[in-house]
Amino acid sequence: MPRHSRITGTGSYLPPRRVSNAQLAAELAERGVETSDQWIVERTGIRARHFAAPDVTSSDLALHAARHALEAAGREAADIDLIIVATSTPDMIFPSTACLLQAKLGAAGCPAFDVQAVCSGFVYALAVADSMIRTGAASKALVIGAEVFSRILDFNDRGTCVLFGDGAGAVVLETSDTPGILASELHADGSHAGILCTPGTVQGGKVLGDPLLKMDGQAVFKLAVGVLESVARSVLVKAGRQDSDIDWLIPHQANIRIMQSTAKKLKLPLDKLVVTVDEHGNTSAASIPLALDHAVRGGQIRRGDTVMLEGVGGGFTWGAVLLDL
């Protein structure tokens, strides 16, 4: 009998400090950077984001989200035999955030590694965990997206600093007799690396180059709209499903205009679109599992529903996973 993988629990965590657009605009005004609640809401749909305290790291946020997901799945950390963390804001260059999280969970022994695919990171990590479960390399995986993007924001660049937030989302993915994950597809085109990047690095004990996020917003917008439609269609074909089979669409939460355009292209009514970008901002690899957990705990998404997850972001990377919850 073929092995399948299925999500058995979801969890998430937001750091307590919520910063509204008005609060952020007031803080930015003190530096001479002009923005407004109206501009941010009209162009992006974002109303607030959460920022972690300076001493809080991605693995700290991941730990809270992981515990919530384990509890929902009825599992202990010791049951887990694979940990994958998707992050572009790791605690340190090495060891991986997944290893640091593993130590905090007290789950020594199982493989633990990070996936770096920026805002597509969670979809990449979920597809990798699904493959490892289907081939028998793992049976109970923790798959997490965790970010502290506030650390790499340039608060003098109003085109980017109003967009991002911090948070973490997690799922427990387990072996199943019936398919949970139906199909997935991952892509990258490194020739577009420059349109969304944090180019700095460490060399000889010093930061070399600019360690803050840079984005050509319009170039990212145009690419995102195109690839999100094509990858969703491709995954539907692989799974033998149609647009109308999708109960819920969870695209990467970056901009409400991109998300609504994707839903329209897939002929989905907007009430099938899960939206958390308004309250979370863009939390990069954490955005999809955060949105999934909010929709599950809020009673929107129920067991058995068919859900399309779609990531897109720096690399340039994109991908989708279609699943029955």
Catalytic residues: 119, 252, 282
By beta-carbon proximity to ligand UT7, the closer residue of 62 and 224 is: 224
In the complex, the smallest distance separating the C-beta of residue 84 from ligand UT7, rounded to whole angstroms, is 20
In the complex, the smallest distance separating the C-beta of residue 221 from ligand UT7, rounded to whole angstroms, is 4
Residues in contact with ligand UT7, counted by CB under 6 A, come to a total of 21
Residue 38 neighbours by CB distance under 10 Å: 10
From 8, 10, 12, 44, residue interacting with ligand UT7 (rule: CB under 6 A): 44
Footprint (CB under 6 A) of ligand UT7, residues 13-42 = 35, 39-40
Going 161 to 312 to 253 to 146, the CA torsion angle's sign is negative
Footprint (CB under 6 A) of ligand UT7, residues 62-121 = 119
Residue 275 makes contact with ligand UT7 by CB under 6 A:
no
Q: Are 180 and 324 within 8 A, CB to CB?
A: yes
Rounded CA gap, 44 and 282, in Å? Answer: 10
Q: Which residues are within 8 A (CB) of 52 and not within 5 positions of it... i.e. 6 or more apart?
A: 15, 17, 60, 61, 148, 150, 166
Q: Which pair of structure tokens corresponds to residue 15?
A: 């750091």
Residue 224 makes contact with ligand UT7 by CB under 6 A:
yes
Angle at 92 between CA 79 and CA 15, to 5 degrees: 70
**x/- map, 147-166, ligand UT7, by CB under 6 A:** -----------xx--x----
Closest residue to ligand UT7: CB criterion? 217
Nearest-10 crossing angle of helices 21-29, 37-44: 130
**Footprint of ligand UT7 (CB under 6 A):** 35, 39-40, 43-44, 119, 158-159, 162, 196, 217-218, 220-221, 224, 254-255, 258, 282, 312-313
